[in-house]
Amino acid sequence: MIPQIGVFISSVQSEFAEERKLLIDYLKSDSLLGMFFVPFIFEQLPATNHSATSVFLKEVERCDIYIGLFGKEYGFQDTEGVSPTEREFNHACLHSKTRLIFVCNQNAEIRHSKEIALIKKAEQLVVRKTFSTFAELKASVYASLVRYLEEKEFIRTLPFDAAFNNKANLDDINFDKIVEFVRIAKAKRGFPLPLESLPETILTHLNLLDNNRLCNAAILLFGKQPQRFFITSEIKCAHFHGLEIVKPIPSYQVYKGDVFQLVNQAVDFVLSRIDVTVGTRDAGTQVPVRYELPQAAVTEAIVNAIAHRDYTSNGSVQVMLFSVSKKTHVFLHKKSVTDKKTASARLARIECQEFTCVND
């Protein structure tokens, strides 16, 4: 679900009346910012039986981001000599809101002395940006809000597997899987860490953990329940008699688990449904076994489909096995296939005994 992030726009209303209206219209209409941010300006409120001060301070508490537009005017002062803009800024600081301050370029000689003091106070707490035109203000606000989305990881700039998962922690990792991985990796390719290493150390070495934050890849590789975080990280295997995708499906399985389990289960599904030739011991003590399709090719294609799939897609990896006149065709797809004619046309071009991976 896309989060709704409240943005409170604060300024002397009379000085920035046009900018406030243009800014709120921009935030609502922008294709990216409009998806996440819900802007608020005081002018939008209807008449109410509450004091203005209590209302706007309550709105500051509700928001996630405070945007302050500071210019030359300080604005109306209450009995304590404090303007609504400064009250709002102080309240945002009190409640630890994200504060984005934009200062309009003005000659210091015409800027109100209390406005100068407010700007200096803000400068001690946050980094401010200056602007002269609304175009400059819009560009600065856009850059700041996009950076906010990146920092909160609402939008991703890293590849999916390297991105951190804010919902997962080490309790979601199966440590026995890590131990088994290290054991095999040491035997196969000389993995440098000892088997007794802490799981955190191993995950950090594999670039799967940073500051106790797990990458998506860590969950897919070693998670107890990867599908709890990525519901489509499953593999669907189906066996058809003929080249048409028709129901009832003679054999259909949906496999779940980590990526190692997905590969093993999908490979077993294919190999258990194709012809296999068992030789004799004429040439040695070991009986030669030859599958209709090369086992290495089947495994490699399935590994590639799982490893290179789009995990942000709603579709799952599909392995479809078609048997025609004692000849087997394997059709591997990284997304759900709904067009039967397209699938059949592609399959018709696959020659006998050839394993093909389609990456649409």
Sign of the four-CA dihedral 149, 155, 160, 165: positive
- CATH number for 125: 3.40.50.10140
pLDDT, position 328:
55
Burial of 8 (0-12, 13-18, 19+ CB in 10 A): buried
pLDDT, position 325:
53
From CA 198, how far away is CA 297, in angstroms rounded? 36
Q: Judge if 143 and 9 occupy the same domain.
A: yes
Helix (H, G, I), strand (E, B) or coil at 148: helix
Sign of the four-CA dihedral 293, 294, 297, 302: positive
From CA 216, how far away is CA 236, in angstroms rounded? 21
Q: Considering only CA atoms, which of 120, 14, 5, 111 is closest in space to residue 67?
A: 5
The continuous run of DSSP H or E covering 45 comes out as none
pLDDT, position 332:
62
Q: Judge if 349 and 286 occupy the same domain.
A: yes
**Helix then strand then coil, % of the chain, to nearest 5:** 40, 20, 40
Query: Read out DSSP for 201-268?
Result: HHHHHTT-EETTEEBHHHHHHHBS-HHHH-TT--EEEEEEESSS--SS-SEEEEE-SSHHHHHHHHHH
Q: What is the pTM of this model?
A: 0.61
Q: Judge if 214 and 240 occupy the same domain.
A: no
pLDDT, position 177:
95
Q: Judge if 146 and 192 occupy the same domain.
A: no
- What does the radius of gyration of the chain's CA atoms come to, in whole angstroms? 30
Q: State both tokens at 267.
A: 């490979």
Q: Judge if 242 and 206 occupy the same domain.
A: no
Q: Which of 106, 131, 151 is the last residue of a domain?
A: 151
Contact (Cβ atoms closer than 8 angstroms) between residue 13 and residue 44: no
Q: Considering only CA atoms, which of 268, 332, 258 is closest in space to residue 295?
A: 268
pLDDT, position 28:
95
Q: Judge if 24 and 136 occupy the same domain.
A: yes
Contact (Cβ atoms closer than 8 angstroms) between residue 356 and residue 350: yes
Contact (Cβ atoms closer than 8 angstroms) between residue 234 and residue 254: yes
- The tens-digit pLDDT sequence of the chain (360 residues) is 678 999 999 999 999 999 999 999 999 999 999 999 999 998 877 766 667 788 889 999 999 999 999 999 999 999 999 999 999 999 999 999 999 999 999 877 899 999 999 999 999 999 999 999 999 999 999 999 999 998 887 887 778 888 888 889 999 999 999 999 999 999 998 899 999 999 999 999 999 998 888 999 999 999 999 999 998 899 999 998 887 888 888 889 999 999 999 999 999 999 998 888 888 777 777 888 888 888 888 898 889 888 888 887 777 888 888 876 555 556 666 554 444 433 333 333 333 333 444 434
Q: Judge if 199 and 253 occupy the same domain.
A: no
10 Å Cβ neighbour count for 177? 17
Q: Which domain covers residue 337, as residue numbers?
A: 235-358
Q: Judge if 242 and 342 occupy the same domain.
A: yes
Q: Judge if 223 and 319 occupy the same domain.
A: no
Q: Which of 112, 130, 151 is the last residue of a domain?
A: 151
Number of domains in the chain: 3
Q: Which of 106, 125, 151 is the last residue of a domain?
A: 151
Q: Judge if 73 and 184 occupy the same domain.
A: no
Contact (Cβ atoms closer than 8 angstroms) between residue 320 and residue 249: no
- CB contact set of 202 (below 8 Å; sequence gap of 6+): 178, 182, 193
From CA 194, how far away is CA 178, in angstroms rounded? 12
Residue type, position 279, single letter: G
Burial of 227 (0-12, 13-18, 19+ CB in 10 A): middle
Residue 38's beta-bridge partner residues?
A: 6
Q: Judge if 220 and 245 occupy the same domain.
A: no
pLDDT, position 241:
84
Q: Judge if 142 and 215 occupy the same domain.
A: no
From CA 317, how far away is CA 234, in angstroms rounded? 7
Q: Considering only CA atoms, which of 42, 70, 35 is closest in space to residue 56?
A: 42
